[in-house]
C-alpha cells in the first residue's frame, strides 16, 4: 500500500487537507470518501487498508471546518458549497486515476451529502455507498430547539453550539469510543446554518429518492441512536435503479467501526466487486502511472 498527503485550495481561499491510499498494483477503481460531522479522514485508515488489499484506491479529504482543513469548526457557507467540495475531490480522483471507475462513499453527514450530490449533480459515477446517512435524525429534536436553529440560521448563521453527539453511541467497541474522545482533530461543533441546511437536505433527498439513477449501497445499524435507519430504508425503497439496502442487526452508528467491522467492510468490498472493474493496466505502464498519481499537488 502507498499513502500520500497533500493540500488543495478551493475558490474563496479555503485550504483542504487530502490523503490517499492505493495498492501497489494499479487500482481497480477509486473511492472518494466524505466523512461525518465532527470527525476527519484519518479515522478511516483501517477502511483504506481493507480497500487497498482488495485492489482499490481511496481518496479522502477533511471537510471544511473539520480535521486539518481550514474553515470555522462545524461550519459551511451553504450546503451547496459542501457539494462543490465533493465535485473537487472527484475531479482530483479523475486527474490522478484517469482510467479507473469512480465511486462515492459517505458516512453520516457525508452519507447525506453523497446522496444529495448524486441526485442534484447527476455525476457519471460507477456507484455510491452511503453508511448511516443523515437523512433524518434517529430522534425528534425539540420543536423549540428547531425553531431557535432556524431563527439563528437567518440572524446569525455562523452561531455554533455542541452537536450533542454521545461518543458511546458510535460503536459497541470501547476502544473506538476511547480513541474518539482523545482525538485532538475531533470536535463537537455545528453551526445553525449547517444544521438547518443538513436537515432540509435530508428531507429533500427523501422527497426525490425516486430520481436516484446510480447503483447504490446503503448500510445502517438497526440500533443507531444518531441517524434514522428507517429513513435509510424509506430512501432505498424508492430508488428505481440498482439499490442494495443492508440493515445490520443491533449495530450502532459507525458500522465500519463496530466489533464485527471486518464483516461490514467485506460486504462493502463485495458490493464494489459486483460493480465490475476495468481491465488490468499493463506492467510496462504501471510504474510511471503510480509515480505520477502519487505526487502531491
Positions marked catalytic: 108, 224, 253
Q: Give the Cα separation of 60 and 15 in Å (integer).
A: 14
Answer yes or no: are the C-beta atoms of 36 and 113 closer than 8 Å.
Answer: no
Residue 176: partners with Cβ closer than 8 Å, 6 or more residues away: 170, 254, 257
Number of other CB atoms surrounding residue 39 within 10 Å: 25
Nearest to 109 by CA among 127, 72, 83, 91: 83
140 CB-contact burial (10 Å; exposed 0-12 / middle 13-18 / buried 19+): exposed
- The three-state secondary structure class of 16 is strand
- The three-state secondary structure class of 169 is helix
Answer yes or no: are the C-beta atoms of 219 and 267 closer than 8 Å.
Answer: yes
Q: Give the Cα separation of 160 and 188 in Å (integer).
A: 10
Residue matched to cell numbers 479515522: 43
Amino acid at each position: 500500500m502507498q499513502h500520500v498527503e497533500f493540500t488543495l485550495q478551493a475558490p474563496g481561499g479555503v485550504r483542504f487537507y487530502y490523503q490517499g491510499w492505493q495498492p501497489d498494483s494499479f487500482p481497480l477503481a477509486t473511492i472518494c470518501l466524505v466523512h461525518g460531522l465532527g470527525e476527519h479522514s484519518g479515522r478511516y485508515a483501517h477502511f483504506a487498508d481493507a480497500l487497498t488489499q482488495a485492489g482499490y484506491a481511496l481518496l479522502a479529504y477533511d471537510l471544511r471546518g473539520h480535521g486539518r482543513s481550514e474553515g470555522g469548526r462545524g461550519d459551511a457557507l451553504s450546503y451547496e458549497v459542501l457539494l462543490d467540495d465533493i465535485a473537487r475531490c472527484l475531479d482530483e480522483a479523475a486527474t490522478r486515476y484517469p482510467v479507473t471507475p469512480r465511486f462515492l462513499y459517505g458516512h453520516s453527514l457525508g452519507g447525506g451529502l453523497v446522496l444529495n450530490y448524486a441526485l442534484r449533480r447527476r455525476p457519471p459515477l460507477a456507484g455510491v455507498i452511503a453508511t448511516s446517512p443523515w437523512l433524518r435524525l434517529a430522534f425528534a429534536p425539540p420543536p423549540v430547539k428547531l425553531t431557535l436553529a432556524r431563527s439563528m440560521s437567518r440572524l446569525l448563521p455562523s452561531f455554533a453550539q455542541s452537536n450533542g453527539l454521545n461518543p458511546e453511541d458510535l460503536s459497541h467497541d470501547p476502544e473506538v469510543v476511547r480513541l474518539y474522545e482523545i482525538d485532538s482533530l475531533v470536535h463537537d461543533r455545528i453551526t445553525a446554518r449547517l444544521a438547518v441546511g443538513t436537515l432540509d437536505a435530508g428531507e429533500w433527498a427523501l422527497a426525490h429518492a425516486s430520481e436516484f439513477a446510480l447503483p447504490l449501497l446503503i448500510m445502517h445499524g438497526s440500533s443507531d441512536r444518531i441517524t434514522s435507519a428507517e429513513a435509510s430504508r424509506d430512501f432505498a425503497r424508492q430508488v428505481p435503479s440498482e439499490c442494495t439496502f443492508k440493515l445490520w442487526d443491533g449495530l450502532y452508528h459507525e458500522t465500519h467501526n463496530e466489533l464485527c467491522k471486518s464483516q461490514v467492510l467485506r460486504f462493502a468490498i463485495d458490493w464494489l466487486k459486483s460493480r465490475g472493474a476495468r481491465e488490468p493496466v499493463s506492467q510496462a505502464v504501471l510504474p510511471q502511472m503510480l509515480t505520477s498519481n502519487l505526487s502531491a499537488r
